[in-house]
Amino acid sequence: MLLNDLPTPIPAKTAAIAQRRIGGRFNAWLFRDRGPESTPIVLTQRRVFVLPTRPGLVFGAVLAAMLIGAINYQLSLGFALTFLLAGLGHSAILHTFRNLAQLQIEAGAAAAVFCGDPARFTLRLINRRGNARYALKLRTGSALTTIDRVDAEGTSNAELVLPTQWRGWLRLPRVTLETRYPLGLIRAWSYLQPDMSILVWPRPEPDPPPLPLGHGNAGGIAASAAGRDDFAGLRLYQPGDSPRHIAWKAAAGGGPLLTKHFSGMQAGNVVLRWDDLPPQMDNESRLSRLAAWIERANSGGMGWRLELPGASLGPAEGSAHRNACLKALALFGQPQEPA
């Protein structure tokens, strides 16, 4: 047989890639690791896994030793005690499984946060059965929360808190929902990954320069802010108006809700231009400064326009405009939708 006729060995790297693919498909089939899924999620029988805990294994070993001793010494009471405890353990398997089965999970609130602040994902656990659920744990990464009780035909909220390190979309990782109720001998768990994402805004600069008022003020040099507090009249309240500018005395008389309007609050009075920032600043520093300016303009009840490369927002004012601008900063150079 010639050496050229020998089979060519499979490279180690190719074999490792094939092994990972096979392992990934196996996990996707067995543990339903298929990425984000739409809610509501119902924990059917096929989604709940059951295995004994470490105390459960010890309990089983003790039962085996008791059974051997009862057989060896022909102890009737030993048989009775062994089978009684075995029945208790078997009943624990059923009750632990039923504590999770048919539980329904829905996505709750997921408000945007600044980078560095904790992101809070809320999941609603809905129990449509006539019996309560107890001692439920939800875990993903470093986040862990415990639900002591979900009442019969009731709902309970679970909050998972994750750290934020980068701006952009933060997707909720796969969550493990488990229980060891009632005896701790059996662990029942299920994997779920609701399609939930939180938008992480860039962190505002701690001590930014004054706001650039008007046109042509580069690098954050402030123009005169005189006239900003000159009262110009009242107008009908619009969603997003600052509560500090609402005419509460006028509203107390039973009339429509009005907002105080100031001459310095004209939309477009503040222009936040990407190109006006110092050229030595990197992209993240620019985004941080613009975020700080947006927060300062919004808290002061001022209108502003944001000009980014390829995008312009405003002029406008209020919380809706603030959120739109912060979203544009968070997704600058990143995918517009969660990956």
Confidence of residue 331 (pLDDT cuts 50, 70, 90): very high
Mean pLDDT of 312-330: 92
User: Helices 319-330 & 283-299, crossing angle to 10 degrees?
Assistant: 170
Token couple for 36: 């984000």
Give residue 211's pLDDT. 83
Report cis status (omega within 30 of 0) of the bond before 40: yes
Give residue 15's pLDDT. 55
With H, G, I as helix, E, B as strand and everything else as coil, classify residue 156: strand
pLDDT tens-place string over residues 89-141: 999 999 999 999 999 999 998 899 999 999 999 999 999 999 999 999 999 98
Give the whole-angstrom CA distance, residue 2 versus residue 5. Answer: 5
Confidence of residue 265 (pLDDT cuts 50, 70, 90): very low
pLDDT tops 50 at residue 217: no
| Backbone phi and psi for residue 298, each to the nearest 5 degrees, phi listed first | -70, -40
Considering only 27-31, 95-99, 322-326, which range has the smallest mean pLDDT? 27-31
| Domains contained in the chain, CATH given | 36-201 (2.60.40.10), 218-330 (no CATH)
Give residue 1's pLDDT. 47
Give residue 235's pLDDT. 60
pLDDT tops 70 at residue 322: yes
Token couple for 124: 């609603």
Q: Which helix (H) or strand (E) holds 79?
A: helix 76-98
Give the whole-angstrom CA distance, residue 1 versus residue 213. Answer: 86
User: Could you give the angle at the alpha carbon of 40 between the alpha carbons of 113 and 93, nearest 5°?
Assistant: 110
Confidence of residue 222 (pLDDT cuts 50, 70, 90): very low
Please report, rounded to a whole number, the percentage of residues in the chain having pLDDT higher than 70.
74
Burial 204-230 (b: 16+ CB within 10 A, else e): bbeebeebbbeeebeebeeeebeebee
Give residue 234's pLDDT. 63
Give residue 173's pLDDT. 94
Give residue 219's pLDDT. 38
Give residue 112's pLDDT. 95
Identify the CA nearest to 317 among candidates 260, 248, 258, 266. Answer: 266
- From the number of C-beta atoms within 10 Å of its C-beta (0-12, 13-18, 19+), residue 283 rates as exposed
Give residue 335's pLDDT. 84
Mean pLDDT of 316-338: 91
pLDDT tops 80 at residue 245: no
Tokens 């008007």 label which residue? Answer: 214
